[in-house]
Amino acid sequence: MLRRFLGRTAPLALLGVLCAALPAAADPGMGSVLGSQLVPSANSAIKTAIRERKQHDADVAQVPPIQQPAKAPAQTGLPIGWTYMADFSAAWSLGNTGASDKLPGGFDAMFAYGFSPTLRAEAAYYEVQHYPLGFNNGVVPVYVQGVANPIGTQDLSQAGIDVATKDKFTLLMLEHLVTIAHKLPIVITPTYVSRTSMIGGPNDTQTVEANGFPLQIQARTAQVQALAVTVPFLSTPKMFGTFTVAPSWLVHRAGLNQENKAQFYSILYLEYRPTDRTTIFFEPQSSRDYLPADVYAQHLNAYFLGISHRLTRNTFVQAVLNSGGPSNYKPYGLTGIYCQQIVPSCTNQAITAGGLHATQIQLQFGIGTPSVLPF
């Protein structure tokens, strides 16, 4: 009887509350921002270094006549001076996310200053929109705080839950181009990332059930420091590939975090350039998100598949399909609802969630240099 009545009433009761804030850690996670900001910048430096190295080798092979003055050493590596990029984006979620799957628009920007071909400082702001699975479908148990057994169930498809999420990343990076044995250019990038989010509303504050108690946390707010190393493994006129590994640590633990061991991001980047204006790229990654809602880091497996096209010298359009979810937090999505109060309805809820998985397409229109095109 109670289950039946909750099945009818809980959607109404939950509507106003769950719309406010729920977790969404799905997504490609931190790897996305490294993949979209750090890797392309490192790639451009490596490409330039390789190109210049090849040019230098060619020049050496064709020694000029003795009367002809030798060429000045070419600039190899990172661009010197100011560079910039800005874009606006729209995104659409894929998969069974229910009716409330409208994603907000996004904005990205990057400014960098190259002190020398081997040293550049960069500041970037990056937004990624996504909608995790498991919040608008399925049936989850409903508990009353302090009562061990569920008092009923909730059909999430009837709850009107909005977990449209916009993650916001601010990055500070210092890129060092190092050439090993005069042949292999690599980029070492100390990185600081501060992230926050909006989940179905103006912020990412939510109440989660932790160890039997309700706990209010900022579910997707964290600061991370990392040391990334990017190494090339493929360079042809049409193709290019790198591998980036980045040990990282939380600046501080928060929420449910239990430890702060080094987490390793691994990002493979592979691109194909059919024309001078167009680049197709594929970027699988194994990354680690460690957010306040996570007891231990989420082991995310994600990929990006995109195409970028330069419209004019300073404008571009880019489309990216990305998908990701953790292998160590299942099931995906909302797993339980805990009512803190029951009069006049089930309100002040805390929730429990498993892993968060999302798939989306993002379309970007920008000025400057899109992240995957060479400078």
Partner 1 sequence: MKLRPTLSLASAAALAFALSACGGGGGTANTAYSPLTPPAGSPATTNIVGLGDSLTAGEQSGALLGAPVPVTGSLFPALPPTQEAGWWAQLWASANSAPAQNAPLPLIAGAPLGAMIIPGATPTQFTSYPLQPCAGAGSQNNAAAFALSSALQTRANPSVTPFDLAVPGMMAHEALFMTGPYQSACTIPPPTSPQQGQLDMLATLLGSESLNFYPVLGNFPGKTAVQAAVSLHPTLATVWFGENQLLKFIGSLGQVNPTSPQQFQADILSIIQQLQQAGAKVAVANLLDPLKAPAFIPQPGLQAALISAGVPAPVAGAVTPAIQASLQSTYAVGANGYITASGLQKIALGLPKTAPVLAPGDFVPDAIAAATEQQLTALNAAISADAQATGAALVDIYGTFNQLFQVGAVPINPPKCCSTQFGGGIFSFDGLHPSNTGYALVANTWIAAIDQKFSLTIPPVNVGAAYATDPWAPH
- Positions touching partner 1 (CB under 8 A) are 1-3, 5, 8-9, 144-149, 151, 212-214, 339-345
CA gap 310, 84 in Å, rounded:
15
Cβ distance to partner 1 smaller for residue 20 or 119: 20
Cβ distance to partner 1 smaller for residue 9 or 315: 9
CA gap 211, 72 in Å, rounded:
66
Cβ distance to partner 1 smaller for residue 63 or 343: 343
Q: Label residue 368 left, alpha or beta by phi (over 0 means left) and psi (-120 to 50 means alpha).
A: left
- Find the shortest distance in angstroms from Cβ 137 to partner 1: 23
CA gap 281, 270 in Å, rounded:
6
- Find the shortest distance in angstroms from Cβ 353 to partner 1: 19
Scan for tokens 């490609």, then name that residue.
Answer: 28
End-to-end CA, the chain? 66
- Find the shortest distance in angstroms from Cβ 328 to partner 1: 26
- Under DSSP, the state recorded for 258 is -
- Written as six digits, the tokens of 229 are 């190393």
Q: Is 370 helix (H, G, I), strand (E, B) or coil?
A: coil
CA gap 231, 275 in Å, rounded:
24
Cβ distance to partner 1 smaller for residue 6 or 372: 6
- Find the shortest distance in angstroms from Cβ 344 to partner 1: 6
Largest CA distance in the chain: 99
- Find the shortest distance in angstroms from Cβ 336 to partner 1: 14
- 45: buried, middle or exposed (CB in 10 Å: 19+, 13-18, 0-12)? buried
Cβ distance to partner 1 smaller for residue 39 or 337: 337
Residue 4's identity, in one-letter code, is R
Q: What does 5-61 look like in DSSP terms, one character per residue?
A: HHHHHHHHHHHHHHTT------SSTHHHHIIIIIHHHHHHHHHHHHHHHHHHHHHHH
- Find the shortest distance in angstroms from Cβ 211 to partner 1: 9
Cβ distance to partner 1 smaller for residue 214 or 336: 214
Cβ distance to partner 1 smaller for residue 135 or 143: 143
- Find the shortest distance in angstroms from Cβ 16 to partner 1: 15
Phi, psi of 78 (to 5 degrees): -70, 145
Cβ distance to partner 1 smaller for residue 122 or 209: 209
- Find the shortest distance in angstroms from Cβ 287 to partner 1: 34
CA gap 280, 336 in Å, rounded:
41
Cβ distance to partner 1 smaller for residue 66 or 148: 148
- Find the shortest distance in angstroms from Cβ 149 to partner 1: 6
Cβ distance to partner 1 smaller for residue 129 or 335: 335
3-state secondary structure 170-187: EEEEEEEEEEECCCEEEE
- Find the shortest distance in angstroms from Cβ 317 to partner 1: 51
3-state secondary structure 186-233: EEEEEEEEEEEEEECCCCCEEEEEECCEEEEEECCCEEEEEEEEEEEE
